[in-house]
Structure formats: structure tokens, C-alpha cells
Structure 1
């Protein structure tokens, strides 16, 4: 920085302001300092800056499955919002594995990240609470943290499960199957509870629960193949999958041999409304989550928590409402429902 200051003919403090708060410096001076930086090939030593500040300008983001477009969209949105605040997102995927999740949390802690965004695998939040109490802001993503000391941003998955199955029931389905797992994921259990609630209100309707080891296309295909082997009277007439990847796998199994027609024989609905849903061989009905708002809101909450780390601060826990997008897989027409609020703050 001293070399840059000498070439630009300014003080070291001015160079520091150009790097950190350029709005405080006259535009002509900024241009002169940037020219000196380019001439010298100067690269700021972030490790040294981190030692002085005590924290880096990086944010750790741990998601359940980066291969799921739902989490990819959240990460992309978080990255954009973080960039607005001169922050960088470091991404890790737990693969629904608590041990792997802990490894990433420990690694980000060692890097003294600015803060941590986490989609927790289970309900044990002790390690995250330890970080929070030591001054590292933590925001739960895709998990309602109401009643915990954490800020969070989530979607009402109970309402989403209820919305999906109510739609199947409205189309005439009475033998409904819920497909999803593992049960350790709060999102899965909440969506299943919502499904059960909808079924309980319709006389003669039943709900079969089919557990899966993962929320993947392959797991969905295995379920679809097992349903194909059943007699027509033993099959459900409506299937609600806990996410779109499962639903895509079920759809593949049904349509590869063409012996089960969707939705004529079995209506099918997923969850997340990923881009692939609308372009499937039978366009997939789904429950849409506002991924862009989830990612951006998570970063906003993290920045607010970092600015006010006092114990008197009340955590914020916004909960977004999901939307039904009805397509050909349930005999519906494309388009989200418009009578639901976008979000509520609980």
C-alpha cells in the first residue's frame, strides 16, 4: 500500500479509503490510485486485513444439496446480495450428513467468516449456537428458527404440503401417496404433516407414506418402479413428492414404458418448482418457493445481526408462503395461485 501511495502521490490512508470506502474519496483521486494499483499489480492481502478486523469478508453458506436447483438458486441470490455489501459467498454442501455439515461449520469458523448461513440437517443446533455466542452471526436458511436464538428465513412447508394435497383432492384423487425422506429433515416432516392435514378433512381419502433415503431423481425412480409393479387397484391415484427431483424420478418410471399415464392413471405433484419442472415430458405441477427472496433475505438478516450483536436483539424469523403452480401432471393449467400472501413475519 505504501508503494501504491508513492506512485499515486497520495497518503497510505487515502489508498485504504479507495480500497474500503471509495465513496469518501474524490473520483479523480480514485482513478489515480486505481491506475497505480494496475501499474504495480497490487493485490490486497486479505489475511492481513482479517487479522486486523478479526473477521473476513467471506460468508459461509452450507446447504443440504448443491445439486438441487432449489439450493443453487438460493446460493445465486445470496451471492448477488452479498456482493452488494462487498461480501463473498463460500459454498459447502452437507449432503444431508450431520458429520459433513459439522466439518464445513468448523472450517468456516477457522476462517473467521463474517457470518454463516446454514440449512441444518437435523435439530441439534448446539454447534451453531456456540458460534453465535462467540460473535459470529448465524442465519438458518429454509428452516423456521422461531423459538430459537437464531435469525432465520423459511417457507411454510406445512402450508405447502397441505396446498399440494388439497390440489390433488380437488382433482378427484382419494388414494394419495406422500413420497419423501429422510425423516430427519424438518422440511420433509412438515410437508408430510400438511399432506395429512388435507387428507383428514376429506371423507374416504387416505394417505400412504413412502419413505425415501434421499430427495433425488434416483430415489424417485425407485419409488415409481415399485408403484408400477402394483396392481392398478393397489396403486395411489395421486402422488405428492417432497421435492421436484423425486417427482421427476417418479415421472420417468411411469413414462419410460408408457404403462402408467400421468395424470389419467396417477396425478403427480412436486415441490420447489425448479426450472426442469415446466420442461418435463409431462409438465410437472409443483409448489413454488421464492428462492430469490430467500437468498437475499438471508444475507440481509446476517448483515443486520452483525451490526447489532447485543443479547437484547430479538431474532427475525420471516416465513414466506408457497404458491401452487398447476400443470399437466395434475390436469391443471399453468400459473401460480394468486390468493395467497407472499410472506408473513412470525
Structure 2
């Protein structure tokens, strides 16, 4: 059923709808007519409120769980509320300072990304996620260092001073001269280029027979490139923290949904693809329940925002995942502020 526009709702219906949604998001419990009447805001009898609740249910905006006489928003209702009625609460000065302190801790950027996922979990009461930026660092050299019979260490050095090591298994009888020749050849092609750029050039040169490498050195070059490519493909692109927060008191009554959500989070590649769809967004994006097929069973929501470097280039996406009753008004601006803070940290 398509979501009706707000203009189709009377002022009374809009107000009751808003109170039900806000009450449910705060408590996680369906809101009944007696509760609304007792609050004294509406100045309406429970019977009048029930009539409006029935109308909103007929429009597909509210649902009445069989275990309760109260109403809760449907996914369509949440979408209407988030897009047209929600009043966001900007982070306080104390909250902004706390986030920036966490991200400003000295250390490598990986530590800042870990801190970001943790702080997102803390501020949302759900799970925090950060997609690691796609780093195409400019490289300086790569060395193949013999360890023992049959093994070498492939050492990759970036122009920014970063160093990464990978273990490389060698063919029987590989000599030190072949390791040196392969190292020199790779380093000559790496200078100032990304690994992907250098690999294309090296593969084309080897395939055409233009390289002066002997067969043993060619094999080492190809093995060296393969180990880096394979490792990059397997490397997690998503950091998730705070899954335990999904198991709160209200979750115990819906344990199958929570189990489904945790299973979804184990499939990091699919979650990363969802976050990646927010890379080009101008503002924070909100995915509610089955709007995304990945969370159709768990009925979860994702709030995601891209983060950018100082030149304004998108380098990754961060966000929060949890039940659809997330406090959107508070979390959306928090996610947006955290994205900007991480962007400044990356530089």
C-alpha cells in the first residue's frame, strides 16, 4: 500500500499519529488510546482517539499487534514520520566534544575508524558500522625478503611511510638473485603509482615479452601481485561494534528478529554494499526495514552517511543499525556530525 501524503490527514489525525510514533520510538511498546487520553494533550475521549487510530490503521500507517490493544507504526508509517514530521535534535556541545575527543586520539587512522564504530554504538544504543575507506595509496617500493626455505616476506612501502607485510610461499629452488631481480622490477614499476596501476603495466609488459626477467623472476612478480590482490579481496571492508546492544530487554520478546539481524551483520559484504549505496548521498540516508531486501526478515533500520576528506572526496560510509524503533531524531544528526568529524580526522 503506498504511503499517503501528510496532506490527506486531518490535523487531529496527524497529531495522534505523531504521538503514537514518538511514544513507540521512546518505549518500544505499542501505544493505546487510554495512554494518549491520559496524557491530556489531545483533550479527546478514548473513544474518539480509537476512531482516529482505526483510520490510521486502515491507511497502513499504524498496526495493532495481536498481543496488545495499542498501536505501533508500520514501516510506511515510519517513513512518513521520518520524511515529513520528524524534528531533529542537534547534538549538544558536550556530545560534540565527546565525539571529537574520541576521534582525535593519537594513532593510525585504523584506530580512529575503530573508535568511530564504537562511539556510534554508544550514542545510538545499537550497533555502529564504519566502512573502511578505499585506499589507493601511492606506493614507493616492494621488497621480497627470504625468510627460510620456501617462504619470503613481501614488504610494501607507501609514499606516506606506511608499511605492510604479507607472507609469500616460494617455488622450490628459488634463489636470492631471483628475489632481488623481482624486487627491483616491481619497485621500478611502483614508484608513484597505485598497486592497481602498477599491476596493469607489469602484466602487460610480461605478457608482451618486453620484460627482461627470467622465468623464475617472472613467477615471483606474478606471485607477489597475486598475494596482494587476494589479500585485498578477503580483507574486511566493514567494522561493526556494539552487536550486544541489540539484545536489550525489548529484544527478548522478538528473539527471532534479533537473531536474523545478527546473521545479517555476519554477512559483511552485503552490509558494506548497502552502506556503499549511500556514498553519493548529499545527506544522511535512512533505510527502514524491508525497504532494503537485506533486512526484510529482521525488520531493521540503517542510518548512514558518507564521510569525506578535506578535498570533499567521499572515502567511506558510516552508520548505525538497529531495530526500526531507533531514535531517528537524535541519531540522524549524530551520524551526520560523526561523519564530518571522521572526515576531518582523515584529512
The structure whose Rg is larger is: 2
TM-score between both structures, scaled by the size of structure 1: 0.23
> Higher RCO, 1 or 2 (CA under 8 Å, sep at least 6)?
2
